[in-house]
Amino acid sequence: MTDESGGAAVIASSVVRGLAGMALGTAMGLAQAASGVSGVEATATATCVQEADAALRLACYDRLHGRDAAVPTPQTAQAQAPAAITASTASGAPTAPLVVGKAPVPQDTHLSQRWDLAGQSSTLFAPRVHKPVYLLPATWTNKVNLQPSSPSPDHSVPFDLDLSAVEAKYQLSFKSKLDDQVLGTPVSLWAAYTQSSRWQVYNGAASRPFRETNYEPEIILAVPMNVPVAGWNLRVASLSLNHQSNGRSLPLSRSWNRVIGSLAAERGEWVAEFRPWLRLREKPADDDNPDVQDYIGRGELLISRYWGDHAITLQARHSLKGGERSRGSAQLEWVFPMDGALHGFFQVFSGYGESLVDYNLRQTKVGLGVTIAGWR
């Protein structure tokens, strides 16, 4: 900042302070006159209000009311300020996070730990688990998608693929906090990435190919909350820009972009999250799957129950349409203890959209494996 701009700021500050002092002095003078208090005291009060230095202003009020207080100099006040700041920060107490609703913010709940709502682990860019990380060495489906198809031109396989009903599946998912308080608001900014793969590891005749991998990067804005509603506690609201694709060439290419809203609440060891989304439309020539929302859905509800080292999560999706377009899916996951941080992971899926290439295939799929993180 230049000397001119600095001087202008000082002058502006002095003018504002002077006007405020005059207004306050006038108001107090009128009030005191009405109550029989002398105008001299009102003038003295206005003089204290106009004092720029905080310590000198306090000493002025002390003198006005007959208190015996030493009058510090501006140099003394400036020397004491850093000491006060040091004393307040030396205790190591974390700064209270901004939050929508009531304080204090619970620190040990599932959603607090998942989204750092209490600001206990505010290290930026540090990776943490986003969705469950698991490995299912064996999954089985009652219906193999031998001819994946889509209404888009050149997006349907004209012959049967050599696929097995038994395959392995795994998922990796991480996120990092990019900003604690966006523009000074309670909103935090996150980046997340999830990848899930289906591997035909037991299909030696077809050279054990990876049948389908879904890539899902997203940017998330999250707002911490502490709002009681009907016995539940609303804990976080979020809005994300989400891309999901399988990275394949025609005729197997599938992809879509969404804006996803989320509202999550807790009640003891129960967690519920409602996630509606809006698909971002593409040009017809670029759309791999124009009817994907009529199968995978337009929103989902997740309900989890935890007890000890066990957890059960139900995920329900629906197209929010009636008649022939009324479709969706349900998925149940059960986590159970095994050894140390290793937990068993059981998953059963029924409906449409187990993966992007299978978005319009109705199937039931069951898998068993292990998880090491993200299930809480």
Catalytic residue among 245, 310, 318, 350, which? 245
Q: Are 357 and 212 in contact (CB under 8 A)?
A: yes
Residue 24 carries which DSSP code?
Answer: H
Task: Quote the tokens at residue 99.
Answer: 């939050």
Residue 105 carries which DSSP code?
Answer: P
- Residue 243 annotated to the active site: yes
The amino acid at residue 134 is Y
Separation of CA 256 from chain center: 21
Alpha-carbon gap, residue 61 to 42, rounded angstroms: 12
Catalytic residue among 110, 243, 310, 318, which? 243
Q: Are 291 and 268 in contact (CB under 8 A)?
A: no
Q: Which residues contact 30 (CB under 8 A, 6 or more apart)?
A: none
Please choose, from the candidates 270, 224, 234, the residue with its C-alpha nearest in 3D space to the C-alpha of residue 100.
Answer: 224
Q: Could you tell me the end-to-end alpha-carbon distance of the chain, in angstroms, rounded to an integer?
A: 50
Give one DSSP letter per residue of 220-282, joined into a string. EEEEEEEEEETTEEEEEEEEEEEEEE--PPTTS--EEEEEEEEEEEEETTEEEEEEEEEE---
Angle subtended at Cα 198 by Cα 197 and Cα 204, rounded to the nearest 5 degrees: 130
Q: Are 65 and 40 in contact (CB under 8 A)?
A: no
Residues with a known catalytic role? 243, 245
